[in-house]
């Protein structure tokens, strides 16, 4: 779907306010340039006060007011938080944790995703909403549920157990196949009957890893089934109205965004970078590149961000002046066609009353609201960006099943996959290189360089895709603890990196994880440094050592290896080089692969991304650093946020400054 312009707005919860406040909302929204609001997300208890008894009159008036003000609705299906009557009538809809504790109503999302009762009541409500509002002039987009899997990531109750067994039967057909896949010969876990199979509830010690992995797959599917149930109802009523559901930022372990994205018309993301963390915009960048890649470069929506502070971290700093603007433009630079906030009017009561909003408690004459209005005006002035796309020559592979598996227990050492991604992604970000984040089954044609951090779970099919990429002249970089198990958590025979051994030209004999906070000496082509977290005893079989360990039992053994294969090159890292050395490795790998930065000679701290239209492109420059910088452009360009009449060859960016240049 294509947006007519870059959308601007936020969550709007009019049910929290008397009706006489709504008129002021409309006036201030129009003045702030609001074009899209998410409405009705938590309205279930209000529109269906008793089972089957509906009160939509007030909501009709909200939507009519929005239509009159020419503000679009990202209209929620209202099923994110069931009303108290549902669990009073049917306590079995309440979810249970792995330890058996039941989660009670009193917050939100208190439902078992597998519950047929929840799905039935939710589906009934969606029918009502779709039938009533499917032709409403304010309707632009369906907002299905809200942040699926945010609080209840999996449910371990008896209803879920039954659904898990159904799911397993569809996957394995008979119980002997399940026994084989789950390696149940180990610890006397062999099942004689399906009825013995349970979710991985709290057990005396380490649970079965294949059972846990399948339960993570199942839980993702159970939650996805709630979404598709609603989606299918909406499609019947309004086949032409696009649909989304907002992913929790930046990457949420229980929800496989790649699989979910295929079920949506437009992908949307909620993003809450931590203002206390100086590297937070790099992590945000990773999340934005991932959601953009989830539908192969299609523009996405930043569905929620905080105008200033959140209230749900232990300590909640406001965003200093200019930061909200900078981070909003970062999302647009990385392919967003919408900048929205949680939420429009700051709540007067409830658990989020200290969460910032576009319209703060202190009113419209406030710093935050002024910044919101200024941003709204800027966004309106750059409508021509809508629909343009970001292109990348580098892809980093991320796989949800691998994430579920690689961070499992009883491993050589605990690993944090997002930290591994960050270690590989940040040097590209710092070097002004645009990167896509793809699933392992993606088509890699057109990418010069593919980066594969810690792909512990590796299927033969993925190995074949990677081999083909290199054979045809591409470059590949794989890092340690990859190619260890197949998709049932069984070891690849012959040792890691399993089906990649020939491609990488090496064999890993032993994993030598470093002590917590330990490091190991490295030499990279004469440059000394430290390796972090992990090391491995690698036996080359064709690969050449470019870097070696310099200390301990592994001194003199290869740490960084390079292997020519077909028309391309495959690299292997047997440790995680410290950031400066990782940058050096990636700079070299990139240079050999022919991957250039967006613009040569950019100052440190400046992010540069290009969005491409049919006959023109836009360069977005963002100064994340603390000092003013000047950027020389290859050709004069017009800054859409500056003096639109005067093309410029030199752009000066204040700290937190932004330029949107048409070339």
How near is the Cβ of 3 to ligand GLA at its closest, in Å?
A: 21
Between CA 56 and CA 62, with CA 61 as vertex, the angle to 5 degrees is: 95
Structure-token pair, residue 550: 């310099």
Output 32 or 248, the one with its CB closest to ligand GLA.
248
Q: Does 81 contact ligand GLA by CB under 6 A?
A: no
Q: Count other C-beta atoms under 10 Å from residue 434's C-beta.
A: 24
Binding mask 99-138 for ligand GLA (x = CB under 6 A): ----------------------------------------
Q: Of these, 310, 406, 442, 606, which contacts ligand GLA (CB under 6 A)?
A: 310
Structure-token pair, residue 425: 């992604």
Report how far residue 350's alpha carbon sits from residue 565's, in angstroms, rounded to the nearest whole number: 60
Output 10 or 207, the one with its CB closest to ligand GLA.
10
How near is the Cβ of 257 to ligand GLA at its closest, in Å?
A: 15
Output 147 or 289, the one with its CB closest to ligand GLA.
147
How near is the Cβ of 279 to ligand GLA at its closest, in Å?
A: 20
Q: Of these, 304, 371, 436, 487, which contacts ligand GLA (CB under 6 A)?
A: 304
Output 217 or 355, the one with its CB closest to ligand GLA.
355
Output 137 or 350, the one with its CB closest to ligand GLA.
350
Q: Does 355 contact ligand GLA by CB under 6 A?
A: yes
Q: Does 346 contact ligand GLA by CB under 6 A?
A: no
Q: Does 256 contact ligand GLA by CB under 6 A?
A: no
Report how far residue 421's alpha carbon sits from residue 11's, in angstroms, rounded to the nearest whole number: 31
Report how far residue 227's alpha carbon sits from residue 119's, in angstroms, rounded to the nearest whole number: 10
Output 104 or 354, the one with its CB closest to ligand GLA.
354
Output 35 or 245, the one with its CB closest to ligand GLA.
245
Q: What number of chain residues touch ligand GLA (CB under 6 A)? A: 9
Q: CA–CA distance from 535 to each of 217, 401, 418, 513, 581 (Å)?
A: 30, 24, 19, 5, 15
Place of tokens 């020559």: 393
How near is the Cβ of 319 to ligand GLA at its closest, in Å?
A: 13
Contact 339, 7 (CB under 8 A): yes
Q: Of these, 109, 146, 257, 280, which contacts ligand GLA (CB under 6 A)?
A: 146
Q: Of these, 167, 342, 404, 572, which contacts ligand GLA (CB under 6 A)?
A: 342
Output 340 or 463, the one with its CB closest to ligand GLA.
340
Task: Note the helical H segments in 382-521.
Answer: 400-406, 417-430, 460-471, 501-504
Report how far residue 492's alpha carbon sits from residue 548's, in angstroms, rounded to the nearest whole number: 26
Report how far residue 162's alpha carbon sits from residue 564's, in angstroms, rounded to the nearest whole number: 51
How near is the Cβ of 252 to ligand GLA at its closest, in Å?
A: 11
In DSSP terms, which residues pair with 521 in a beta bridge? 530
Q: Dmax over Cα atoms in the chain, in whole Å?
A: 78
**Starting at the edge strand that comes first in sequence, how are the strands of the sheet with 243-244 ordered?**
243-244, 139-143, 72-76, 36-39, 7-12, 336-341, 300-304, 268-270, 246-247
Between CA 491 and CA 471, with CA 547 as vertex, the angle to 5 degrees is: 60
Q: Which helix (H) or strand (E) holds 592?
A: helix 579-593
How near is the Cβ of 247 to ligand GLA at its closest, in Å?
A: 10
The DSSP secondary-structure symbol of 457 reads B
Nearest Cα to Cα of residue 293 among 392, 401, 147, 428:
392
Please list the active-site residues: 147, 304
How near is the Cβ of 382 to ligand GLA at its closest, in Å?
A: 25
Q: CA–CA distance from 459 to each of 237, 327, 484 (Å)?
A: 40, 37, 10
Output 11 or 221, the one with its CB closest to ligand GLA.
11
Report how far residue 151's alpha carbon sits from residue 106's, in angstroms, rounded to the nearest whole number: 13
- What backbone torsions phi and psi does residue 179 show, to the nearest 5 degrees? -55, -40
Q: Does 270 contact ligand GLA by CB under 6 A?
A: yes
The DSSP secondary-structure symbol of 127 reads H
Contact 480, 536 (CB under 8 A): yes
Output 243 or 310, the one with its CB closest to ligand GLA.
310
Nearest Cα to Cα of residue 475 among 435, 448, 452:
448
Interaction residues for ligand GLA, span 641-660 (CB under 6 A): none
C-alpha of 593 from chain center: 27
Binding mask 483-522 for ligand GLA (x = CB under 6 A): ----------------------------------------
The DSSP secondary-structure symbol of 521 reads E
R_g of the chain, CA atoms, integer Å: 26
Output 355 or 422, the one with its CB closest to ligand GLA.
355
How near is the Cβ of 214 to ligand GLA at its closest, in Å?
A: 28
How near is the Cβ of 267 to ligand GLA at its closest, in Å?
A: 15
How near is the Cβ of 342 to ligand GLA at its closest, in Å?
A: 4
Output 110 or 217, the one with its CB closest to ligand GLA.
110
Task: Name 546's Cβ contacts closer than 8 Å, sequence gap at least 6.
Answer: 524, 525, 560, 561, 562, 571
How near is the Cβ of 416 to ligand GLA at its closest, in Å?
A: 23
**Conformational region of residue 539, where left means phi above 0, alpha means psi within -120 to 50, and beta covers everything else:** beta
- DSSP, collapsed to helix, strand or coil, labels residue 381 as helix
Q: Does 147 contact ligand GLA by CB under 6 A?
A: yes
How near is the Cβ of 305 to ligand GLA at its closest, in Å?
A: 9
Q: Does 319 contact ligand GLA by CB under 6 A?
A: no
Binding mask 322-341 for ligand GLA (x = CB under 6 A): --------------------
Q: Count other C-beta atoms under 10 Å from residue 602's C-beta.
A: 17
Spell out the SS3 assignment of 158-218: HHHHHHHHHHHHHHHCCHHHHHHHCCCCHHHCCCCCHHHCCCCCCCCCCCCHHHHHHHHHH
Q: Which residues bind ligand GLA (CB under 6 A)?
A: 146-147, 270, 272, 304, 310, 342, 352, 355
């Amino acid at each position: 779907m294509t947006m007519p312009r870059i959308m601007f707005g936020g969550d709007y919860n009019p049910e929290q306010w008397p009706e006489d406040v709504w008129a002021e909302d409309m006036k201030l929204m129009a003045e702030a340039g609001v074009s899209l609001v998410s409405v009705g997300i938590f309205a279930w208890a209000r529109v269906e006060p008793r089972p089957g008894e509906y009160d939509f009159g007030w909501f009709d008036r909200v939507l009519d007011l929005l239509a009159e003000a020419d503000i679009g609705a990202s209209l929620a299906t209202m099923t994110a938080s069931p009303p108290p009557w549902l669990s009073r009538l049917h306590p079995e809809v309440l979810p249970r944790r792995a330890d058996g504790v039941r989660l009670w109503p009193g917050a939100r999302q208190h439902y078992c995703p597998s519950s047929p009762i929840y799905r039935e009541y939710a589906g009934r409500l969606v029918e009502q909403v779709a039938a009533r509002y499917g032709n409403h002039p304010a309707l632009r987009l369906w907002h299905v549920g809200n942040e699926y899997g945010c609080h209840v990531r999996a449910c371990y109750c008896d209803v879920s157990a039954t659904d898990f067994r159904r799911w397993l039967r569809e996957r394995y057909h008979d119980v002997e196949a399940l026994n084989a896949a789950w390696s149940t010969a180990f610890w006397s876990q062999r099942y004689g009957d399906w009825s013995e199979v349970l979710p991985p509830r709290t057990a005396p010690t380490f649970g079965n890893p294949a059972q846990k992995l399948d339960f993570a797959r199942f839980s993702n599917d159970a939650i996805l089934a709630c979404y598709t149930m609603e989606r299918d109802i909406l499609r019947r009523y309004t086949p032409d109205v696009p649909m989304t559901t907002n992913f929790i930022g930046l990457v949420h372990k229980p929800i496989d965004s790649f699989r979910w994205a295929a079920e949506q018309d437009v992908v949307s993301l909620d993003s809450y970078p931590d203002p206390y963390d100086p590297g937070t915009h790099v992590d945000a960048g990773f999340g934005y590149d991932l959601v953009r890649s989830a539908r192969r470069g299609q523009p996405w929506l930043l569905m929620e961000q905080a105008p200033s502070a959140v209230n749900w971290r232990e300590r909640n700093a406001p965003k200093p002046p200019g930061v909200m603007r900078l981070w909003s433009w970062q999302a647009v630079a990385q392919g967003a066609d919408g900048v929205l906030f949680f939420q429009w009017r700051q709540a007067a009561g409830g658990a989020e009353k200290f969460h910032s909003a576009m319209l703060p408690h202190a009113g419209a004459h406030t710093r935050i609201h002024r910044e919101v209005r200024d941003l709204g005006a800027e966004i309106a002035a750059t409508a021509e960006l809508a629909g343009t796309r970001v292109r990348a020559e580098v892809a980093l592979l991320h796989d949800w099943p691998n994430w579920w598996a690689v961070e499992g227990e009883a491993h050589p050492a605990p690993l944090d996959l997002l930290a591994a991604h960050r270690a590989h992604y940040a040097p590209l970000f710092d070097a002004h290189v645009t990167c896509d984040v793809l699933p392992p089954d993606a088509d890699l044609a057109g990418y010069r360089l593919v980066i594969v951090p810690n792909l512990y779970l590796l299927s033969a099919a993925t190995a074949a895709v990677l081999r083909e990429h290199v054979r045809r002249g591409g470059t590949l970089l794989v890092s340690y603890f990859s190619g260890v198990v197949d998709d049932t958590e069984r070891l690849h025979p012959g040792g890691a990196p399993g089906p990649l051994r020939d491609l990488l030209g090496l064999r890993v004999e032993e994993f030598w994880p470093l002590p917590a906070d330990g490091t190991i000496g490295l030499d990279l082509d004469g440059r000394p440094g430290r390796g972090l977290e992990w090391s491995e005893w690698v036996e080359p079989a064709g690969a050449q050592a470019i870097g070696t360990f310099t200390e301990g039992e592994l001194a003199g053994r290869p740490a960084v290896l390079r292997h020519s294969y077909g028309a391309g090159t495959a690299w292997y890292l047997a440790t995680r080089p410290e950031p400066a050395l990782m940058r050096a490795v990636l700079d070299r790998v990139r240079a050999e692969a022919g991957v250039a930065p967006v613009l040569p000679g950019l100052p440190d701290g400046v992010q540069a991304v290009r969005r491409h239209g049919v006959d023109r492109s836009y360069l977005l420059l963002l100064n994340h650093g603390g000092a003013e910088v000047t950027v020389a452009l290859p050709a004069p360009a017009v800054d859409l946020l500056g003096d639109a009449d005067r093309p410029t060859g030199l752009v000066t960016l204040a700290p937190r400054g932004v330029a949107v240049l048409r070339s």
